[in-house]
Homo-oligomer: A and B are copies of this chain.
């Protein structure tokens, strides 16, 4: 287990926001993440954790500074962990064309199998296993009370990771997720590079496919989507998730919000509701 280095620590809503770096074994590079410890952490070393996965171009910082979630994490006594969205640093390959939808800031929460990506881009294993183990070793958290959420690419990550590991999470939610990356340009581009030309390998990271072929506990899905989201029709396609969940009788609560877009102004407007949703699941006995 690698050691944590604290980069910063700032007081917020009676708790603390810390930024940390560590040597990731699976990603084979230094990774950064942010942790919010609520006031209750002073007296309780067995707190539940919400993992937040950010979207394209984001780092560990966006959610912590813009979402307004910390107030509710403080209120409900939840630790928030917000990792970076890809491996970074010297030797970590990026899109040769430098575009923002693939490579750095765009790890897509998969385990890459193709060169040159597979040496560093192992974000699925990082979020599912390495990061929680690190958090559980270094902070006073309850490893049996985890939830997961995210936005856009991170909403895809949250849905996929929860659907593949329903026993590990108390609840899952997403804002404007990419629900079917095998059927949209962002996903097709990223998966063809990370996973190769054989599209059958892509399916295990497609939330709609996972719903359709789900076995075991059906963790309900809670999704918020703005109707004025500029990526709605081409990239996000929530109707595919509705259809998959209907066919598979998988519980889905999809809330569509007229006139809201894809930004953090949308997330901030509904984060209180998502935090309460997770608090109810995490604080249940």
Contacts and interface: CB of A to CB of B under 8 A. Distances in A.
Interface of A: 10-14, 17, 65-66, 68, 70-71, 226, 228, 257, 259-261, 263-266, 268-269
A10 B265 contact: yes
Contacts of A268: 12-13, 68, 70-71
Nearest to A74: B269
Contacts of A261: 10-11
Contact of A11 (B13, B68, B259): B259
Nearest to A36: B265
B11 A260 contact: yes
Contacts of A17: 265
A268 B66 CA distance: 10
Contact of A269 (B12, B266, B269): B12
B14 A269 contact: yes
A261 B10 CA distance: 7
Contact of A12 (B10, B12, B71, B265): B265
Contacts of A14: 269
Q: Give the number of copies in the complex.
A: 2
Contact of A66 (B65, B226, B259): B65
Q: When A and B form their complex, which 6 residue pairs have the shortest distance between CB atoms, in order from nearest?
A: A12-B265, A11-B259, A10-B265, A68-B68, A11-B260, A13-B269
A259 B269 CA distance: 29
A11 B228 contact: yes
B264 A65 contact: yes
23 contacts: A10-B261, A10-B263, A10-B265, A10-B266, A11-B228, A11-B257, A11-B259, A11-B261, A11-B265, A11-B266, A12-B265, A12-B268, A13-B268, A17-B265, A65-B66, A65-B265, A66-B66, A68-B68, A68-B71, A68-B268, A70-B265, A70-B268, A71-B268
Nearest to A226: B11
A70 B269 CA distance: 9
Contacts of A12: 265-266, 268-269
Nearest to A71: B68
A261 B9 CA distance: 10
A6 to B, nearest CB: 15
A66 B269 CA distance: 13
A156 B11 CA distance: 23
Contacts of A228: 11
Nearest to A262: B10
Nearest to A258: B11
A269 B11 CA distance: 9
Nearest to A10: B265
Nearest to A16: B259
A17 to B, nearest CB: 6
